[in-house]
Chains A and B, each alone.
Chain A
Amino acid sequence: MNARRILVTGLSTYWGGRVAQTLESEPDVEAIVGVDAHDPTVELDRTEYVRVGHQHALLRRIVQAAEIDTVVDTRLVVDSTTTAPRLAHENNVIGTMNILAACSGPESPVRKVVFKSSAHWYGCEQDDPAYFTENMDRPHPPRAPIEKDIVEAERAVHAYAQTTPRATVTVLRFANGVGPTLRTGHTRLFSLPAIPCIFGFDPRYQFVHEDDIVGCLEFVARNDVPGVYNCAGDGVLVLSEVADLLGKPLAPVLPPWGTGVAAGMARRVGIRIPPEMVQQLKFGRGLDNRRLKAAGYAYRYTTREAIQAHAEAMRLRPLLRGGEEPYRYEREVEEFLRRSPTVRNRPEPRWRRPKADLDSYEGLDARELIDLLPSLPRPDLEKLGRHESANARRPDVLAAIGRNLARTRPVTGRE
């Protein structure tokens, strides 16, 4: 069943806004309702915004009234540097409870719940496996408050999935996100002149590009893929590699013992390293992202490419500063544009996903085509490769297709 009437929670978060934007351009999505305690931060064409409290207490009435069939819950706070602990707890635990309550009940119209979680669910410990798979349990009880919240929220989601068999429940556990517009505790660390790390440790890190975060959420909203999925770019880097790609030195200023105390002192000089980040800077974490790939999602960026894209954006940032006004939501203007009979030219959807048949590629030039390749699934890539080698035979396009095919190929062949 495809999502037609969608509720997006956390519309003001980066992910919520981008997901709503993406869904807007899908013609078979009838209605998109976005709820949040804060105004949206991205420009939206047809998403209806409703302001609700942090606890999402009145959501049930919205769900019933709008006959929502799909709830995309992007509201979970997974970065303790952005929100006060108490507010995060309110949002993560009480908010999740209320949202799930709004989706349950025998007459509820909801048939699908997509829950954005975080790889912090796994934590980072000394005896972790190098790659967490979705069916592994957390080896130790959570330490940091934010981890406790995430574990508790996910437990509620799993309980909902068990008691509500009619609903397809998908949980996505995202690795640390990076990208040109994303601001997290880690990207703030990366924007320092030197990247602080713990002396004597070089942890393994995996990232997911912001476009892939949105891509994963949209993919599971549009397809039926129940269960838990890890979302992370291919490849695991060590921190020294990340620093190298960002063009910054590593500063091993945190001591290996008493790191928490030192992190507390770092906070006084404006560097926030919360407990879950200390653990990650020490032990690192890798995720097995193959289950979502097997379900059909093709990542556009590997971890390395995500970091490279982030580095490029960071180099441009000082040049672009103050150039563009950030978007500000003005309720009256939005209302006028959408509802007033005076408005004759309603805003058009900004972009449409190109259809995956060969004719639609004819119009593209080489550059545009190469940019498009990472988003294509393997069969389409192969088809396009055959088409290209039979007709235009542009060497740069063929090489790019080869590169993208190699990315989906396993390291070693089967026996």
Chain B
Amino acid sequence: MATEPTSRLPARASQARSSTDHRADRADDDLRDFLPGVESDRQVTDWGRSERIEGALDATLSEFLYRYWFRVEVEGIDNVPADGGALLVSNHAGALPPDAPMIAKAIKEEHARPRPVHLTMEHFFKGYPLFSMLLPKVGGVPAHPANVHRLLFDEEQLVLVFPEGRKGSEKLYKDRYRLRRFGRGGFVAAAMRARRPIVPIVVVGAEEAAPIFAHLTVLQRLTGFLYFPLTPTFPHGGLLGMFGYLPAKFRIRFLEPIPTTQWGEQPWRDTALVQTVAEEIRSLIQDQLYAMLAKRRSIWFG
């Protein structure tokens, strides 16, 4: 469902500038003082997020799943910074991944200073009817590097990315808890550019909540979805079968934030460094996953 920002960084329109144009070179400068103010009468943010719809969903479905269905247990919530931007990075799984709303709900419920989490999503969802309308309303933001940068640096928000992207959510049940490639490290570059910390998150339970047994390519082509999974309840359970989660026990562990300011000036230009850091974060999450799984006695009771 969600992915890391992979599309290319905003390129400079080199032909657009004359040599006398100094102001154009200040594009990366700090324009935070000029952010638009908050219009208090509005119920929708500039990103298209609707307080009303998000609140309604939060009070019903998320609440039920969080408390009674998945019985989420949270560790290390204090590792999420109380203010300032931070990039949350997590493993990703499940046909219609339940990990994203549960992480957002955990921060809302357990954190001393709850804040909304912006969830990056594949550009596909912006172009597909209904998804395009609903996902931004509950906090979805297209995974464009410029969006992540604006949220992290300018607006000081929490952004949740799944570097595995669809490779994580479409993997079969037999491959569970084996992390896919962490994209091309775009999430590390984004955090470095914004000079904001990365908070790795480990989620156990999502793999068993919505396991995928096979992919139905014919139906995938017909519907134009990203992938068309066969799960315990979908597609034979109808559209609602997409939400047919099994009651696996969820554990979410927030790891210590990794600062991104220790690598000097413009570290995001060093591709090798970006790749190394991304790989280190990946293996950190993978190790923690194995450690948590080794202690888990039952899929359903934890």
Chain A interface (Cβ < 8 Å from any Cβ of B):
126-131, 133-137, 139, 155, 158-159, 161-162, 164-165, 168-169, 198-202, 204, 225-228, 234-238, 241, 256, 282-283, 286, 288-291, 293-295, 302, 304, 406-412, 414-415
CB distance from B4 to the nearest CB of A (A): 14
Residues of A contacting B137 in the complex (Cβ-Cβ under 8 angstroms): 202
Give chain B residues whose Cβ lies under 8 Å from the Cβ of A164.
18
Q: State whether B129 touches A200 (Cβ < 8 A).
A: yes
Q: Which residue of A lies closest to B41 (CB)?
A: A304
A290/B35 in contact, CB under 8 A:
yes
Q: B127 near A237 (CB under 8 angstroms)?
A: no
Complexed CA–CA distance, A133 and B28 (Å):
10
Shortest Cβ distance from A404 into B: residue: B37
Tell me, in angstroms, the Cα distance from A236 to B45 when the chains sit together: 8
Query: Is B147 in contact with A129, judged by CB distance below 8 angstroms?
Result: yes
The 7 closest A-B pairs by CB, nearest first: A200-B129, A234-B36, A256-B129, A129-B146, A290-B34, A161-B18, A126-B127
Distance between Cα atoms of A44 and B11 in the complex (Å)? 44
Instruction: Give CA–CA (A256, B146) in the complex, Å.
Output: 27
A135 & B10 in contact (Cβ 8 Å cutoff): yes
For residue A244, give the distance in angstroms from its CB to the closest CB of chain B. Answer: 10
7 sample A-B contacts, Cβ–Cβ < 8 Å, listed by A number: A133-B27, A165-B18, A204-B46, A226-B20, A228-B13, A290-B35, A407-B37
Selected contact of A158 from candidates B16, B23, B48, CB within 8 Å: B16
Give 4 new A-B contacts, CB below 8 A, not counting A133-B146, A236-B46: A202-B48, A204-B46, A238-B48, A407-B36
Chain A residues, CB < 8 A from B38? 406, 411
B144 & A129 in contact (Cβ 8 Å cutoff): yes
Q: How far is the CB of A290 from chain B (nearest CB, A)?
A: 4
A241 touches B42 (CB 8 A): yes
Residues in chain B near residue A241, CB distance under 8 A: 42, 44
Cα A68 to Cα B251 with chains together (Å): 72
| Chain B residues within 8 Å of A304, by CB | 39, 41-42
Contact with A along B127-139 (1 / 0, CB 8 A): 1111111001100
Which of chain A's residues have a CB closer than 8 A to the CB of B127? 126, 282-283
Residues of B within 8 A of A414 (CB): 32
Q: Contact between A226 and B21 (Cβ–Cβ < 8 Å)? A: yes
Q: A137-B11, A225-B23, A234-B37 are in contact. Are A130 and B32 (CB under 8 A)?
A: no
Query: Which residues from A are CB-within-8-Å of B180?
Result: none
A201 partner residues in chain B, CB cutoff 8 A? 129, 132-133
The answer to whether A411 touches B155, judged by C-beta atoms less than 8 angstroms apart, is yes
A339 and B39 CA atoms in complex are apart in Å by 51
Which residue on B lies nearest to A293, using beta carbons?
Answer: B34
B13, B19, B123 pick with most chain A CB within 10 angstroms: B13
Q: Across the interface, name the chain A residue whose C-beta is closest to B84.
A: A415
- Residues in A whose Cβ lies below 8 Å from that of B19: 162, 165
**CB-based contact B147/A130 at 8 Å:** yes
Classify the interface of chain B: helix, strand, loop or mixed: loop
* B27 close to A291 (CB less than 8 A): yes
In the complex, chain A residues whose CB is within 8 Å of the CB of B31: 288, 290-291, 293-294
- Do A228 and B16 contact each other (CB < 8 Å), given the known contacts A136-B10, A204-B48? yes
B126 CB within 8 Å of chain A: yes
Cα distance A236–B136 in the bound complex, in angstroms? 13
Residue-wise interface mask of B (5-33) relative to A, using a CB-CB cutoff of 8 A (1 in contact, 0 not): 00100111101111111011001000111
Residue numbers in B under 8 Å from A161 (CB-CB)? 17-18, 21
Interface residues of B in 188-226 (CB under 8 A from A): none
Least Cβ–Cβ distance between B161 and chain A, in angstroms: 15
User: Which residues of the other chain, A, contact B46 by a CB distance below 8 angstroms?
Assistant: 204, 235-236, 286
Cβ of B150 < 8 Å from any Cβ of A? yes
Q: Which residues of B contact A411 (CB under 8 A)?
A: 35-38, 155
A contact residues around B7 at 8 Å (CB): 127, 139
Tell me the complex Cα distance, A198–B34, Å. Answer: 33
Query: Is B156 engaged at the interface, CB distance under 8 Å to the other chain?
Result: yes
Question: Complex formed: what's the CA distance from A291 to B27 in Å?
Answer: 8
Residues of the B chain whose Cβ atoms lie less than 8 Å from the Cβ of A126? 123-124, 126-127
Instruction: Report A90 CB to chain B, min CB distance, Å.
Output: 24
A205 to B147, CA, bound (A): 16
Is there an interface contact between A127 and B142, defined as CB atoms closer than 8 Å?
Answer: yes
B141 part of interface (Cβ distance < 8 Å): yes
How many whole Å from B41's CB to the nearest CB in chain A? 8
Contacting residues, chain A, for B15 (C-beta < 8 A): 155, 158-159, 162
Which of A128, A283, A294, A408 makes the CB contact (< 8 A) with B144? Answer: A128
- Report the nearest B residue to A412, measured CB to CB: B156
Query: Using Cβ atoms and an 8 Å threshold, which residues of chain B touch A288?
Result: 31, 150
A residues in contact with B12, CB < 8 Å? 135, 137
B window 82-130: CB within 8 A of A: 84, 123-124, 126-130
